[in-house]
Amino acid sequence: MSLTKNNGITQNRVLDEIMDHASGLAPEYLDSLLMTAKGMAFTRECMKREQTADRQEKPSTSRLA
């Protein structure tokens, strides 16, 4: 699996690789793969929201100087 530092490119490459390999799977496995991918996307969005909330809670240190 090819990973780069740019998150958008990394996500697209991972998604492309999953899709390429999934085409050879039996249909009964595709449902599990789809549910796993949805869970990963949900987790990523939750982590993004949490990071945004954490940044908003921290006071700016530049104002203290």
pLDDT in tens, 1-21: 444 445 666 767 877 787 788
| Among candidate residues 22, 38, 17, the one with its CA nearest the CA of residue 9 | 17
Count structural domains, the chain.
1
Contact between residue 3 and residue 13 where contact means Cβ atoms under 8 Å apart: yes
- CA–CA separation, 7 and 37 (whole Å): 16
pTM of the entire predicted model = 0.53
Domain-embedded: residue 6? no
In a domain, 13, yes or no: no
- Helix and strand numbers (H, E) in the chain are 2, 0
| pLDDT score of 59 | 66
Q: Would 49 be classed as within a structural domain?
A: yes
Considering the domain boundaries, does residue 28 fall inside one?
yes
For residues 58 and 48, give the distance between their C-alpha atoms in angstroms, rounded to a whole number.
16
Tell me which residue range forms the domain holding 40: 23-53
